[in-house]
Amino acid sequence: MDDRHGQAAAFGYSTGTVALPLAFMAAGLIEAVAIHLLVPWQWLRVTLLIATIGSLLAVVGWLAGRAVHPHLVTENELVLRSGSAVVATVDLAEIGAARLIRRFDRTDEEVRDGRLYLPGPDGTVVDIDFRSDVAITLRRDEPTVITGVSLHLDDPRAMVDRLGAVTT
């Protein structure tokens, strides 16, 4: 989205996340055919087919969540998402710095040493530091205080430029 008229700017993070789920989906389809050919009991074939379809739908839902729920920078806030879940909402006045830093050591969503990591399959590409602590809740965990976030983005330069214009 464009921000020239006060609209939110969207920053996607789905690039590079398709290969492994597509491989899982292909394996699921092969499994469904193999079950049909090898399992002699109709009730078991149907049960396993339902389980396979359910798992394939879960993978498609996960991919769709990453594609249609980008991070947002509104007029006043940075909204960080992980799929359909809003992980953190940070007032733009709290952002101290945003810079391009590529890290390959984190591939799981986690909080470590006061920093939230929202990586892609090959790590993170942007660090955002806050002026003060920000409380977040990951999944169903207790609220956690963070001092910054490292995240994967499709267009990291655009995010850094956008936040840099706000912090100066």
Question: Which pLDDT value is given to residue 138?
Answer: 74
**Sequence spans of domains, the chain:** 8-168
Provide the 10 A C-beta neighbour count for residue 17.
17
Question: Which pLDDT value is given to residue 1?
Answer: 44
pLDDT at 3 over 70: no
On average, the pLDDT of the chain sits at 87
162-167 mean pLDDT: 73
pLDDT at 2 over 70: no
What global pTM score does this model have?
A: 0.76
pLDDT in tens, 53-112: 999 999 888 888 888 999 999 989 999 998 888 888 899 999 999 999 998 888 788 888
146 Cβ neighbours under 8 A, 6+ residues apart: 88, 111, 114, 115, 116, 130, 133, 134, 136
